[in-house]
Structure 1
Amino acid sequence: MQETPLDQAARTVLSRYAVVGPQANIVALGNRGGFSGARLWSVRTEADAFCLKAWPPGDPSPDRLRWIHHLMRLARNQGLPFVPAVSETRGRSTSVHHAGRLWELTTWMPGAANFHADSTAEKLRAACAAVAHLHRVWARVDPLAGPCPAVQRRYERAREWLEWTEGGWQPPLDQSPAPELPPWTARAWTLLPAGVRYVSRVLQPWIDRRLPLQPCLCDVWHDHVLFTNNEVTGLIDYGAVKIDHVAVDLARLLGSMIADDTVLRDIGLRAYGQLRPLSPEEQELVVHLDRTGTIIGMANWLKWLYRDRKRFDDYQAVAARLADLVQRVERWSVSA
């Protein structure tokens, strides 16, 4: 297969890393199922395996990426082997700016994101414990107190959605960019009027509530947790890291892994709480962020597809992600 300009750029970037020689085997992986616009390559030498990542053009900023890398290195230095190690260039930088993008090289993490294919309570405990270990390390980085940013993001998106729809906007479902989408976008559109009002009602009491804040992953979900047997051997993709409350990570993780299974959710929360205790208030927030995040996820997809007119590489994957959200909300029968 002929190399693309981005593949050629990847080889140029790799030449700046001493850990990768000219004989390395490089395999393009595309977006690996993601939607951010990042591109990935598998890089294998005789001794090691790496993941080369080209971040989306213009995002993140160099300062933000340095901060992310600082957090990852802090976690590795504190003995968390499931966090990828960030490689340095010959010039001692953890990133390269080339071809209009920032690039990074990290260790290739072993394991598979196979919880759904082989779900056990042991795996769920291990996943929640891994996140708790990471949170404990990151809690030492400029701890803050204030309103939960995840609550504010969801509440603002609900307000924005109501403003658009009450002003007459509706998605042109007959102009979908792919035939896989209309069955799910139509069902999402039907669910959202009651769903968005539910978001506003549930989150309103939390808007100004002060909570402990710290760096959080903010997008840790099923496909980002790699297992070898029942052990977490990889926690990948740090692109969404921001200051938030730890409940946002538990909500995303548990919602993606066990959906609405309350027995397994309690098992996961107990495993997490053994390492980083959760107050009853924080456990309640996990449930609220999971449910409201699922509803706002539907609104986001309709916004991206029909208002922003964003384009995606794999619309089957988009339809599958939207289907998961729609089917969860339909099971709840959220009332206005």
Structure 2
Amino acid sequence: MGTVGLSLPIAVLDAWGLEPHVVECQPLSGGLSGALVFRVLVRREMGVPQNVVVRGWPEGISGDRVRDVQRFVSAVRQAGCALVPQWIRSVDGSSCLTHQQRIWEVTEWIEGEPWRPQTLTHQELSEAVQKGAAAIAQVHAAANQQTFSETGRQTVVPPAVLERCQRLQVVQDWWEAGPLDADRLDGREWLGAADRVARACWQTHGQAITEWLAIAQTIAYPVQTVLRDVHEQHVLFQNAQVSGLIDFDAMRIDTPAVDLSRFAHGFLLRWGIQKLTSNLSPLFQMNAEWGDCLEKVVWPAALAGYRQHCSFSEQEAELARHLGDVSSLFSLVNWVVWISWEEKAGRLSEKITEDVARNRVEQLQQFAINYFLAR
């Protein structure tokens, strides 16, 4: 079987009738999921060239799961929200194709790119967060209209809370095991530094997090189909406006607060880190200003944008804030634990190389220093 663009099988292009019309094929990042993603430029006869996205789902993902995601996105489109991509059916009318242990699909291309600051002032950051949160709310509102979910807006203890209660045991086991020893570090001082920062954070915030989770797992909130992995790289901007959202692999029934939490914290984590190494006007410093920015700039903007299209109670807003705090610290601990074992066993994968792992850990570590320890 032939391929184009590194590992895009020609058989996939044939299934959608694209192969004779391909002008260019560009591999794109599939993130840490293991997906294969390509931007394919096609031109039919004398028509205008058109970009499409050809995506191979990670190996092991079931056809039922892929079809669930496709039905969800299609229903959001049918409810009038054009911020999600339209699926393109194959020549025989199918929405996907199984080939070489992957399920493949084709969607329209959404113009735009993740937000990039010009000056990184509070005003610019606030406007971007507000627009992104409003776009997420539009998807939520559309999802709430469709019948994809049998649970709809039931009120239950959110899965996001229950998952973090389960992850708490991992964190407690890590804490009780003590600092990483030289054997586990294997000369990687950056991992030892992250472990020390995480322990300092847990020493000062662990009890409060534990107590909050104990209470949160007894409180019911409205749930619906949400995205769950809607970080700032999945919200595309064009001409200072949101042009679309991408990547819906993680969608499921949960609290809308989990999406707002992921998005808001992701903005501060990514752009706060960049600010430390840039020459732009001062916004983030190695002190409590990060926490102040999250509370005084990012969260007000996120709530204002979201409430343009969806109701969101103060109780839900408080849930979102807590989920963001817990998740950012738990993520640092989880990466430290996972890398120390996977590296020791030599099981770091091709998609998560040591450089990728180190970059992510150091981002979370820097965030923890400035958000948890400097306040």
TM over 0.5: same fold?
A: yes
The answer to whether the 8 A contact 2:155-2:223 is kept is yes
Q: Which runs of 5+ in 2 are unaligned?
A: 44-48, 270-290
Residues 1:268 and 1:193: Cα distance change in structure 2 (over 3 Å): closer
State the TM-score, normalizing by the size of structure 1: 0.87
Letter in 2 for 1:154: R
Distance in 1, Cα, partners of 2:63 & 2:244: 25
1:59-112 Cα shifts (integer Å, max 9, x gaps): 2x2111111111111122223222111111123222211111111211121111
The answer to whether the Cα contact below 8 Å between 1:192 and 1:299 also exists between their aligned partners in 2 is no
- Structure with bigger gyration radius: 2
Q: Are 1:138 and 2:138 an aligned pair? A: no
User: Equivalent residue for 2:277?
Assistant: none
- Name 1:12's counterpart in structure 2: 11
Are positions 1:24 and 2:29 aligned together?
Answer: no
What are the superposed Cα offsets for residues 127-169 of structure 1, whole Å, 9 maximum, x if unpaired?
Answer: 1111001111112333132111111111111113323553x47
Once the two structures are superposed, what CA deviation does each residue of 1:267-304 show, in whole Å capped at 9, x if it has no partner?
22012112112111001001001101101111221233
- Any idea what SS the aligned residue of 1:41 has? strand
Residue 339 of structure 2 aligns with which residue?
305
Matched, 1:315 2:354: yes
Query: How far did residue 218 of structure 1 move?
Result: 0.5
* 8 Å Cα contact 2:332-2:364 kept in structure 1: yes
Paired residue for 1:57, among 50, 59, 71? 59
Letter paired with 2:191:
P
Alignment equivalent of 2:171, drawn from 157, 161, 169 = 161
Residues 3 and 9 of structure 2 are in contact (CA less than 8 Å); yes or no, is this contact kept in structure 1? Answer: no
Number of aligned pairs? 329
- Verify: 1:126 aligned to 2:131, yes or no: yes
Matched-pair contact (CA < 8 Å) for 1:171–1:302: no
- Quick one: structure 1 residues 220 and 8, their matched pair in 2 at CA, closer, same or farther if it must change by over 3 Å? closer
Q: CA, structure 1 residues 13+4, in 2 after alignment: closer, same or farther (shift >3 Å)?
A: closer
Q: In the superposition, relative to structure 1, how do residues 16 and 266 fare at CA in structure 2: closer, same or farther (>3 Å)?
A: same
Q: Secondary structure at the match of 2:9?
A: helix
- Equivalent of 1:35 in 32, 37, 61: 32
What residue in structure 2 maps to residue 263 of structure 1?
296
RMSD across aligned positions (CA): 2.8
For 1:223 and 1:187, how far apart are their aligned partners in 2? 29
| Whole-angstrom CA distance in 1 between matches of 2:95 and 2:196 | 44
Percent identity over paired residues: 25
Contact 2:137 2:309 (8 Å CA) reproduced: yes
Q: 1:295 to 1:135 in 2, by over 3 A?
A: same
Q: Which runs of 5+ in 1 are unaligned?
A: none
Structure 2 CA distance, aligned partners of 1:68 and 1:173?
44
Counterpart CA distance in 2 for 1:172 and 1:28 is 43
Q: Which residue of 1 aligns with 2:199?
A: 190
Shift, 1:313, TM fit: 4.3
**Which portions of structure 1, spanning 4 or more consecutive aligned residues, are displaced by more than 6 angstroms?**
3-6
The match for 2:370 is 331
Q: 2:254 is matched with which residue?
A: 244
What SS does the corresponding residue of 1:22 show, helix, strand or coil? Answer: helix
Report if aligned partners of 1:173, 1:182 keep a CA contact under 8 Å in 2: no
Structure 1 residue 177: deviation in Å? 8.7
